Structure 1
């Protein structure tokens, strides 16, 4: 459906009144008002709503998202408080007269207000305490926010044999032969990947840090009643996710700007509160950031392990009861149960201060309490929870964090959602190399030589099965590598039948579900690799102690790949790829698992949340999100919105260049034609002329690194008809300083040099003065996403061709066949085109970054004339297209752009 209509309970009669009701800290633009109203509507309409919203970069999208969503949440909570009280009293006192019910309602309101006031007072006290702590902290403690991993390795004398047995010997997990474990099994039988053991849950309950089991008095000294649980509607939550922690940190900075009204209804406030209404008219948003142990673990002995899987396993291992009385065997000293008072202080401080991940880490370090577990205690009282993509997109990860999406009370907001489908595929991807299998086999042999005779029956069986699986996979990969090396007709990549992988050594007779479950619950990968690391460390000479980087966790990699093999064959494919030799080593072979469709993996979010909002700067085209993420949602449940830009129309000029001469269509950068000498020559001529009329920075995006290298090589050659003017490359460098993005290299140095060439004044007058800089980059490369080419850095963005993926590549071929089998050939073609246009739109979005910015965009390919392609561009780009530009050629473009930039200079 369209984003029209009035928000339920929030009719914006005029812009000033509406802006105030959304609590935006600034005066919103019209597009921001439209965006906020749409977000509010999606949240307010009820269960199963979806919003797919596009708002260009520079329009304040993140701030608008949080203002609208949190305004709805506070309005909703106020209404729910009153409705829930009245409903409960009416149901329980159906025979009582109305005046009795009203009296009881008044009493309940007062009780609710008292609990709310006690909680706010407790949080206010936590804020004051945190300010004092921050003021007294040394600058060096806070200066380097990102922690350094402690390398405080204790000196290792030769351990006694029984100590080795206790730390590295496999326990009796899986004693019933099927990989199950009564001691450490999660209470949720469906949670195969949950790292929360029964002991962990017991630990939290003992510390009084989980609902319903509190044995510890509150931080404010009351009778132990948890006001977070007593405020029954505090389970309404917004889950906000983005790609990276840096993006989440930026969002949290935005979260600190607005102020929102109290969630307590006016009629429920106590007399004391009403007298001090000015002080209680606003209520700080309660926010908790969640992350993995890798970012939050403060135990040096665990955090230095490096890999997420190893850290998870070691953390779980330290929570198990130990037989030894040795201090080193008593587990982790930072678990919340070791210091319940500090854990409660952690909870209150987190809810009171709008922290980011680094703030939680520093708080946990100061209080000597684990931020990973202590942050869970703040979740019940939180209103908005931020977390990166992987922790939201995997159901097992959500459940391990204690996140339960609710059809009535959970709103999921995915920011930077243009790549959400790729993100779903990535979190379910797995890869394994032949060389890693060799390392895994060696580690397992070392372990079995030491502990093999001491293993219990079930453990011995499972270790043997894992060895057979390693042998089977190694045999297949070795055979495939030999075949590829000896046969020129054999390809270097392709699709593998999963059943063929395990036919060797009888590995296909093994129950992979049971084996993976055993490996996870017995912490086999961690114990085998830890024992190997222990031997390597003991063997080191004292002078070589500096080299303590952890080895690659190959058994964890193997476990992830085996887990992928247990997925339905219809949902994914396994690919092989021959890797070329490096540094004199022999070639390697890699297996990769690819999720073909995100539909099933995303279904638990789409089905369980009250509302799901996908928001991004360039979401067009929208069709893929509806088809592949929400296939069961009816049209009336889906709202789409493409906002205009905040810039005035005269600040954007979009030109389609189909050919050098008017009325021609010589620019065809399809794979079959793009290498023709005439095309390369005309492309060089077009950019030479463009650099003449465009001031400052020009960024050109090519469809691939390979084609960019080909073009540059052709331009460096001197044509016979150049008439002594030199090569195209030399002439380009005479116009502007030219910079080139390289595959695999860091973009920071190139970007810094490009910026310097534009912004820094030349002091050496002997050097020829050039008109800014030219950056040659690649669609989908480092420069095409997340880089800000604002103002002079990006006065013109040129898109060379359409960056269609290689349809003959095994992964894309498999994906297209899958979609065609499910939805038909036309759907597969649309998905293929949409993937290309999303990449184009991301690159285009690099140019205009704020309201006062201006730029030209040149679409350099005759295929951009197609209405089918143009409809997949963002609405604000389509609105800036010069009518008939595709027929006017190079001369028409130069005239229009020259006039465009002259007009901007005159306005200064």
Structure 2
């Protein structure tokens, strides 16, 4: 906490490592909030000091005046007194004048809003008049426009450089900023999952600051929406679109109510959200700041008060002292802006930050399939065709540019737009290009993507298109009656075409089946928008991977971000201090090089802190096992790991461990492929049958929704009484490094008395994405410890994954476990240095199996006897034979 306080006070970027179970969350809370309290007190004292100095100066001036008045004639004193009175009156008049000017300015802002709406309405009516004349002249249509479609049409677009001075004046941006509430000094705390954020909030509630701190928990609409009509949609994107549509309808309704002239046209009333009334939101905003609540408590409070927690929490951000939010909200610039987050001179704490670089890269990397690109092109084409006569020239120009870019994207995959992507065949293969080369390949290099990006943001064309598809897709698919006119035929064609794009090809792969389970967005245009935004990165900072499959629908384009620092620079530059914390932050060398130094953070601004565990040294036994029971050297390289000798030796190691370790044993394999291969070999050779005689075997499921059930069954098996006749005792869980159980799962106490790491989980070095990342690092980063940055990154990725997996054990101060690293390569000095200090200091390397087995048996025997359990009763088959291995 002292180091944390120093980092915050001096504006440092701190890297803090503290193992799980050592009180990391509580230390972050108390240290940060203590600094915040002291910081506010210093500000108040400085303000009082300035006021005192002003009063003292005024008092000295008064004394001088009195002494001078005593020696002056009466008429002079009278003149001075009258002058002072006139100055006071003038001062009051000035203040009153300023107040009136502010009121007039506010009134002008309101008037300008009404004027803008009136001008927009007049322009719309003029356009409608012209269109009606054109329609009557052409005889194309006899029906008037559907009022419900008004919200689907893009408003007249004017870019910043094209805007006239008058239109800029009407915006009143400066005035709006003046009226915005000031942000107090605050702490932004973010973590990976909502459950981890909720755990942090509960720690705040238990801390000494629980009753006094103003804390706000942010979440997505999926977590905080209380409107049943929106919640039932399920899909996050559809929920966002529906909520924004309701807010827009409410805004339009307010503008119509403020308009003096009644609306002549009658239309169907548009749905608005009954939970987002301004007065209710303000009331809940105050209640949010009074009491510390997590997301679930906010959701329940919103249901009880019929008020929207999503917008209430965002309104509470300026006055909050602590804002709790997920990774994505903080690390993504446009999401920060949309949420109202301002980092200027604020504190940022990023917890569980061991994969921060990869997280930033993943957030800003985008992948989309050929089917999604074709759907987006088809939908936008139909939208443009339907509303062509009602769209302004600028809108048509930018929409045609977007369509041209989409055609180029499909062209790079070897297909054509306007045809079913499931029936278009492609030449299988992969290709990796720079951003510029990709744009040249798609013939899109003459399109200004920065202007297209600005158009996406201002026109909200993606949301408009989503509403358009939702309105007409079902009509086209379900329509049984004959089409009345060309317009209906066109929309029905859209629906039928969209349906054809969703049809499955003849050969259905496992990936397609998995993809079909996921809800489909009404329109993939937002994905296209993200991809085009990614293409505006610098040419050296990103690559585009073209993956061609047998058909166009299964082919894909992926933008790969190589330099995560470009998106971390703003956070590091604007924030007063940034704290990057985690249970396992080692190794930090590439972390500093790739993220901090590249983001402009200097060495003198970085503060590192790492502490050991709170457990006694004898409660942990990390072992590097170089050979197995038969003397076979353990080396799980790509060339040797599939040999029968290596698989059988691994089985013998595991069998011996299950004989002496009580409770649960968790075995991590380097990949799903190797797990499948070695378990198949063990089943054929009888190794699995031998393991099942001692422990019940469980395997990590492939589906995420099955993890909880497997863990529950695993825990119940361990809790069952030990069979005195030497039957099953505990359980054995097979898992995969980087899988669903290697992070965020606590194998505390009997759930993880032994963690076995089979081999070293190096990533696939033949991956084109990884090779490009290595090439980029070798060109732009300095060598680390005499190794090339690319090679160092591969080793660090491996050891980070190992550290996360073995960190699943030892979760509190009374816990104990042994960790067995099965590969002689772990004994290398450079590799050992990348283990966490609290594990590295106790690690022992054994070149033969006998001493390693004896030390594990001794640990189990001693600690079980301390707990009052006789090991010979637990494992009579083992202790009835000789104690030598």
Q: TM-score range by the shorter chain?
A: 0.7 to 0.9
Do structure 1's residue 536 and structure 2's residue 473 form an aligned pair? Answer: yes
Task: Report the CA distance shift for 1:94/1:311 in structure 2 as closer, same or farther (over 3 A).
Answer: farther
Bigger Rg over Cα = 2
What aligned pairs does 1:409-488 form with structure 2 within 5 A after superposition?
Answer: 410-478=346-414
What aligned pairs does 1:669-818 form with structure 2 within 5 A after superposition?
Answer: 669-718=636-685, 727-744=686-703, 746-761=706-721, 769-818=727-776
Q: Does the CA contact (< 8 Å) of 2:432 and 2:544 recur in 1?
A: yes
Q: Give the Å deviation of 1:646.
A: 1.2
Q: Does the CA contact (< 8 Å) of 1:240 and 1:413 recur in 2?
A: yes
RMSD after superposition: 3.6
Q: Give the Å deviation of 1:330.
A: 6.4
Do structure 1's residue 40 and structure 2's residue 5 form an aligned pair? Answer: yes
1:397 to 308, 316, 335: 335
Do structure 1's residue 861 and structure 2's residue 823 form an aligned pair? Answer: yes
Q: Does the CA contact (< 8 Å) of 1:175 and 1:181 recur in 2?
A: no
Task: Report the CA distance shift for 1:768/1:587 in structure 2 as closer, same or farther (over 3 A).
Answer: farther
Do structure 1's residue 172 and structure 2's residue 138 form an aligned pair? Answer: no
Task: Report the CA distance shift for 1:319/1:688 in structure 2 as closer, same or farther (over 3 A).
Answer: same
Q: Distance in 1 between matches of 2:520 and 2:163?
A: 28
What aligned pairs does 1:179-578 form with structure 2 within 5 A after superposition?
Answer: 212=179, 235-260=184-209, 284-299=212-227, 306-308=235-237, 310-311=241-242, 314=245, 317-318=248-249, 321=252, 332-333=272-273, 338-340=277-279, 342-407=280-345, 410-478=346-414, 492-503=429-440, 506-538=443-475, 551-578=521-548
Q: Does the CA contact (< 8 Å) of 2:669 and 2:737 recur in 1?
A: yes
SS of equivalent residue, structure 2 residue 547: strand
After superposition, give the CA deviation of every residue in 1:616-638 in whole Å (9 maximum; x if it has no partner).
11111122332222214343322
Task: Report the CA distance shift for 1:497/1:181 in structure 2 as closer, same or farther (over 3 A).
Answer: farther
Task: Report the CA distance shift for 1:473/1:550 in structure 2 as closer, same or farther (over 3 A).
Answer: closer
In structure 1, the partner of 2:609 is: 641
2:574 to 608, 612, 637: 608
Q: Give the Å deviation of 1:709.
A: 1.1
Task: Report the CA distance shift for 1:577/1:184 in structure 2 as closer, same or farther (over 3 A).
Answer: farther
Do structure 1's residue 599 and structure 2's residue 565 form an aligned pair? Answer: yes
TM-score, normalised via structure 2 length: 0.76
SS of equivalent residue, structure 2 residue 830: helix
In structure 1, the partner of 2:634 is: 667
TM-score, normalised via structure 1 length: 0.74
Q: Distance in 2 between matches of 1:77 and 1:90?
A: 20
Task: Report the CA distance shift for 1:296/1:741 in structure 2 as closer, same or farther (over 3 A).
Answer: closer
Q: Give the Å deviation of 1:506.
A: 4.7
Q: Give the Å deviation of 1:715.
A: 1.6
Q: Give the Å deviation of 1:395.
A: 2.5
Q: Give the Å deviation of 1:850.
A: 1.1
1:890 to 849, 852, 857: 849
Q: Does the CA contact (< 8 Å) of 1:667 and 1:860 recur in 2?
A: yes
In structure 2, the partner of 1:652 is: 620
Q: Does the CA contact (< 8 Å) of 2:226 and 2:308 recur in 1?
A: yes
Task: Report the CA distance shift for 1:696/1:160 in structure 2 as closer, same or farther (over 3 A).
Answer: farther
Q: Distance in 1 between matches of 2:312 and 2:171?
A: 20
Q: Distance in 1 between matches of 2:396 and 2:329?
A: 34
Q: Distance in 2 between matches of 1:389 and 1:486?
A: 38
Task: Report the CA distance shift for 1:587/1:395 in structure 2 as closer, same or farther (over 3 A).
Answer: closer
SS of equivalent residue, structure 1 residue 624: helix
In structure 1, the partner of 2:798 is: 836
Q: Give the Å deviation of 1:89.
A: 4.9
2:554 to 567, 577, 588: 588
Q: Distance in 2 between matches of 1:53 and 1:497?
A: 36
Which deviates more, 769-778 or 396-405? 396-405
Task: Report the CA distance shift for 1:441/1:880 in structure 2 as closer, same or farther (over 3 A).
Answer: same
Q: Does the CA contact (< 8 Å) of 1:178 and 1:514 recur in 2?
A: no
In structure 1, stretches of 5+ residues that fail to align are: 1-35, 101-158, 189-197, 215-228, 261-281, 719-726
Q: Distance in 1 between matches of 2:518 and 2:247?
A: 23
SS of equivalent residue, structure 1 residue 418: coil
Q: Does the CA contact (< 8 Å) of 2:247 and 2:272 recur in 1?
A: no
SS of equivalent residue, structure 1 residue 671: coil
Q: Distance in 1 between matches of 2:192 and 2:689?
A: 40
SS of equivalent residue, structure 1 residue 173: coil
Q: Going by fraction, where is helix more abundant, 1 or 2?
A: 2
Q: Distance in 2 between matches of 1:698 and 1:445?
A: 58
Task: Report the CA distance shift for 1:497/1:881 in structure 2 as closer, same or farther (over 3 A).
Answer: closer
Q: Does the CA contact (< 8 Å) of 2:370 and 2:553 recur in 1?
A: no
Q: Does the CA contact (< 8 Å) of 2:412 and 2:442 recur in 1?
A: no
In structure 2, stretches of 5+ residues that fail to align are: 64-142, 257-262, 481-516, 868-885
Task: Report the CA distance shift for 1:70/1:468 in structure 2 as closer, same or farther (over 3 A).
Answer: same
Task: Report the CA distance shift for 1:649/1:317 in structure 2 as closer, same or farther (over 3 A).
Answer: same
Q: Give the Å deviation of 1:292.
A: 3.4
Task: Report the CA distance shift for 1:753/1:494 in structure 2 as closer, same or farther (over 3 A).
Answer: farther
SS of equivalent residue, structure 2 residue 198: helix
In structure 2, the partner of 1:84 is: 47
Task: Report the CA distance shift for 1:428/1:374 in structure 2 as closer, same or farther (over 3 A).
Answer: same
Task: Report the CA distance shift for 1:519/1:497 in structure 2 as closer, same or farther (over 3 A).
Answer: same
Q: Distance in 1 between matches of 2:230 and 2:434?
A: 38
After superposition, give the CA deviation of every residue in 1:643-673 in whole Å (9 maximum; x if it has no partner).
11111111111111011269x7711112222
What aligned pairs does 1:14-25 form with structure 2 within 5 A after superposition?
Answer: none
After superposition, give the CA deviation of every residue in 1:194-253 in whole Å (9 maximum; x if it has no partner).
xxxx7xx99xx7xxxx97479xxxxxxxxxxxxxx6xxxx72211100011121111111
Task: Report the CA distance shift for 1:876/1:459 in structure 2 as closer, same or farther (over 3 A).
Answer: same
Q: Distance in 1 between matches of 2:768 and 2:165?
A: 40
After superposition, give the CA deviation of every residue in 1:346-392 in whole Å (9 maximum; x if it has no partner).
22101101122333344445545443333233222211111111111
